[in-house]
């Protein structure tokens, strides 16, 4: 089975590249260097989002950094969950913080609020947005009110006004 790379994210300082593989539900981390205009990439970590079993229908979907680049999240359709990793900015390596359900079906996108205290998930198959209070220090996530109905949600974008 192909891995189906879905998203690429780059660390704040540009030294690390993160590739999310949709079908195999893992992230590859590469260290990037520009050696006299000859770019090099060295794989330094592969992180499994969820254990795949024969016949499962899980796929990695959302992929985003927190505004401060201290955390990286992905949603997992099929399992209907979100996973958050702590990012070691010095080494680029990821460490699992939590993996928890999102109370909706097929979380196509998920995003941290700019203050890192809340998370929103867009759930494509249940046509809902679900909101959570998150405590990244303790690795917890608590649903914040009932799901909000949205017709065919697809993408989240926070934009600073003013």
In 71-101, which positions are buried (b, 16+ CB within 10 angstroms) versus exposed (e)?
A: bbbbbbbbbbbbbbbebeeeebbbeebbbbe
Q: Where are the domains of the chain?
A: 5-149
Fold of 5-149: Methylamine Dehydrogenase; Chain H (2.130.10)
Neighbours of 146 (CB within 10 A): 10
Residues 6+ apart with CB under 8 A from 51: none
Could you read off the pLDDT of 147-160 as tens digits, one per residue? Answer: 999 998 888 888 88
Could you read off the pLDDT of 120-145 as tens digits, one per residue? Answer: 999 999 999 999 999 999 999 999 99
Position 55 confidence tier, pLDDT thresholds 50, 70, 90: low
Query: Taking 80 as the threshold, does the pLDDT of residue 53 lie above it?
Result: no
Q: How far is CA 76 from CA 15, 40, 98, in A?
A: 26, 30, 13
Strands 71-77 vs 81-87: parallel, antiparallel or unpaired: antiparallel
* Lowest-pLDDT choice from 22-36, 71-85, 112-126, 148-162: 148-162
Instruction: Please tell me whether the overall predicted TM-score, pTM, comes out greater than 0.85 for this model.
Output: yes
């Amino acid at each position: 089975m192909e891995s189906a790379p879905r998203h690429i994210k780059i660390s704040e300082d540009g030294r690390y590249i993160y590739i999310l593989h949709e079908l195999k539900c893992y992230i590859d981390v590469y260290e990037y260097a520009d050696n006299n205009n000859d770019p090099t990439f060295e794989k330094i970590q592969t992180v499994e989002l969820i254990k795949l079993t024969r016949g499962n229908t899980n796929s990695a979907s959302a992929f985003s950094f927190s505004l401060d680049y201290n955390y990286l999240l992905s949603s997992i359709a099929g399992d209907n969950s979100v996973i958050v990793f702590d990012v070691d900015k010095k080494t680029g390596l990821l460490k699992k913080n939590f993996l928890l359900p999102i109370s909706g079906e097929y979380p196509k996108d998920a995003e941290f609020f700019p203050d890192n205290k809340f998370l929103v998930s867009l759930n494509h198959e249940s046509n809902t947005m679900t909101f959570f209070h998150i405590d990244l220090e303790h690795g917890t996530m608590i649903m914040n009110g009932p799901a909000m109905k949205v017709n065919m949600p697809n993408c989240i974008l926070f934009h600073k006004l003013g």
